[in-house]
Amino acid sequence: MLAGYARHFSIERALLLAYRAKRRAEVSPGVGATTKMFVVTNKFSELIDDIHIKVQKIHQAIEADIAKVEKDAEEGTSQFIVDFLRGKMIADGRMPAPAASSELALERLSGSANNQANEAPKDDLCPKAPEESAGQPTL
């Protein structure tokens, strides 16, 4: 099994893995959307509807999380490729390097210049050493 199922898994984990595998299999021809789940122990019983509904909701939440992670990964990969190719083109001389004024304008647009403008001067962040008066030590 793709999820690495093992016999020692708890029934809860096995139930969730089986449900997710069934839902993923629905893209194959001949696998319908209707799902009936049964638990086989020392007797055979159909899964209680409330449990089935909860497993379905958990599966939907997992799929939504996966979709977000995949989208973020795709955007990150895309940005990396654009930056990498831009760097290669600049290094190969096929594209001019951005001028310093262009970089500053980009920083201002991205808000990094605003963040720096709102920061307190470093002198205000570090307390100054007390001044000694007429040779007397300070405590």
Average pLDDT in the 30-37 region? 84
Average pLDDT in the 100-125 region? 56
Q: What is the pLDDT of residue 71?
A: 95
Q: Which residues contact 15 (CB under 8 A, 6 or more apart)?
A: 37, 39, 47, 51, 55
pTM of the model: 0.49
Query: What residue ranges do the domains of the chain occupy?
Result: 1-47, 51-109
Q: What is the pLDDT of residue 74?
A: 95
Taken as a whole, the chain contains a residue count of 139
Q: What is the pLDDT of residue 103?
A: 62
Q: What is the pLDDT of residue 3?
A: 66
